[in-house]
Amino acid sequence: MRFARHQLWLAADIGGGVRRAAVHNQVARTAGKKQPEAAAAPDLPGCLAHVWEWFCTLVPGQAGGGILGPAALAADIEASFGLRPTASEMRCLLALFALWRRQNTNRI
């Protein structure tokens, strides 16, 4: 979850439609070095890369406020990727969506 938390933190809108990552990139270009917060990205475990891909693919559908349950998410994954997610993959995916909703609610 550290990887996801960091990626969502960078993707956060900090006002006026500006993403935190864009600000960090601009500061890095101007100063000639990366900001410590942006550079300290944890690695995504390779065994979870496909779940992160599913999350990134499905999150735009959740942005309108519609929250899909596990069965609907599993059906979307199967329709989009031709794979049936395991129970542990679904738990991970649901945790990612919960984190995403918390960060969007708290505007971290």
* Cβ partners under 8 Å of residue 14, min gap 6: 20, 23
- Predicted pLDDT at 35: 65
Residue stretches of the chain with pLDDT short of 50: 108
Which residue is associated with the tokens 């550290």? 2
- Predicted pLDDT at 32: 77
Lookup: tokens for 34: 């990366």
CB distance 21 to 38 below 8 Å: yes
- Predicted pLDDT at 39: 61
- Predicted pLDDT at 47: 86
CB distance 19 to 12 below 8 Å: yes
